[in-house]
Amino acid sequence: MRNIFASRTGIIIVGVAIGILATLLQKLGNPPNMGICVACFLRDIAGAIGLQRAEVVQCLRPEIMGFVFGAFISALAFGEWRSEGGSSPIIRFVLGAFVMIGALVFLGCPVRMMLRLAGGDLNALPAIGGIVVGVLIGIFFLKRGYNLGPATRMHPTVGAIMPLVMVALLLFAIFKPAFIFASESGPGAMFAPLGISLGIGVAVGFLAQRSRMCFVGGWRDIFLVKEVYLFSGIAAFFIAALVTNYATGNFAADGLYHWGFAEQPVAHNDHLWNFLS
C-alpha cells in the first residue's frame, strides 16, 4: 500500500496538522508554548513517579503515552513493527542522557523550540543556531566513518515493553493512585483534559511514524544530502503553529504571547546556554 505521508505533500500536511494540534493543546490547558515538548513531558512523568522531586514539574502527560500508542498502532497496521536493538547501548544511553540535559537546559526539545519561536519567543533563535552547529559536527564524524553499528532482531517481548509501560502509566493517570505525585502549581499543574491529550498524542504518533517526521533529521538532511523532505515538515509545523497562535488570539493585546526575548513563558534568555544546550 502506498504511503501518502511519505511524499513531500504528505509531510507538509503532517507538519501542518501537528502544528495546529500542538498549539490547540496550549489553548486547552497545557503550559504556554508547550503544547508538545517530549523532553519536558518526560521530565514531568519522571517527577510524577518520584524519580525527581521538583514539585512544579510533576505530571503524567498523556501525550507521551499517545505518541507511543499511535506509532505502535501504525507500525503494526502497516507491517513495519519489528523488535530490534543491541546496537551500542551504552553509547546510546549516554547520548540520550546528554540530549535530555541539553533540552532541559534550554527548556524544550526541538519540537518546543519551534513552538516557542511560533509563540514569539526569540530565545529559540540561538537554540536553532546550536542545532545547526551540532548537526554540522555530527556530519563531520559521519563522513569519517562514525557508526553505532547495525541493530539486531530481538524477541518480540523486548519491543512490547515500552507500549506496556505506557499502558501502566495511562492507568496511573486515570486512577491516580496515592504514590503518584502531582504538581499543585507551575507548569506541572497545567494540562489539557486527559482524553483530548491522549487522542492528540495518538494522532501525532501515528502521523510521525508514517511520515518519519524528525525535528533534527530535517536539519541534518539539508547539509548532508541536500534534501529538504523532512525540513518541509518542520517549516509547515512552524507556519501552522504561528497562524494558529494568531487565529486563536494568543498574540492579542491582552494575550500571553509577544515577540521578544524578555518575559517569555517557561523560558530564560541566557543566549550562550540556549545555544550550547
Q: What is the pLDDT of residues 181-193, one digit of tens each?
A: 999 999 999 999 9
Q: What is the pLDDT of residues 238-251, one digit of tens each?
A: 999 999 999 999 99
Q: In whole numbers, what is the pLDDT of the chain averaged over residues?
A: 96
pLDDT score at 53: 95
Instruction: Enumerate the domain spans of the chain.
Output: 4-276
Q: What is the pTM of this model?
A: 0.95
What is the band of 253 on the pLDDT scale with cuts at 50, 70, 90? confident
Q: Tell me the CB-side half-sphere exposure of residue 265, using CA atoms within 13 A.
A: 22
pLDDT score at 220: 95
Q: What is the pLDDT of residues 43-77, one digit of tens each?
A: 999 999 999 999 999 999 999 999 999 999 999 99
pLDDT score at 255: 82
pLDDT score at 200: 98
pLDDT score at 234: 98
pLDDT score at 256: 84
What is the band of 1 on the pLDDT scale with cuts at 50, 70, 90? low
| Mean local confidence (pLDDT), 132-145 | 96
**Residue 85 main-chain phi, psi, to 5 deg:** 175, -165
Q: What is the pLDDT of residues 93-131, one digit of tens each?
A: 999 999 999 999 999 999 999 999 999 999 999 999 999
Rounded CA-CA distance 1/14 in Å is 18
Q: Are 3 and 78 a contacting pair, CB within 8 Å?
A: yes
Name residue 36's beta-bridge partners: none
**What DSSP string describes 122-176?**
TTHHHHHHHHHHHHHHHHHHHTTT------EE--HHHHHHHHHHHHHHHHHHHH-
Rounded CA-CA distance 107/104 in Å is 4
Rounded to 10 deg, the angle between the 110-118 and 38-48 helix axes is 110
What is the band of 6 on the pLDDT scale with cuts at 50, 70, 90? confident
What is the band of 3 on the pLDDT scale with cuts at 50, 70, 90? confident
180: its cell numbers? 503518584
pLDDT at 156 over 90: yes
pLDDT score at 198: 98
Q: Are 124 and 271 a contacting pair, CB within 8 Å?
A: no
Q: Identify the DSSP state of 31.
A: P
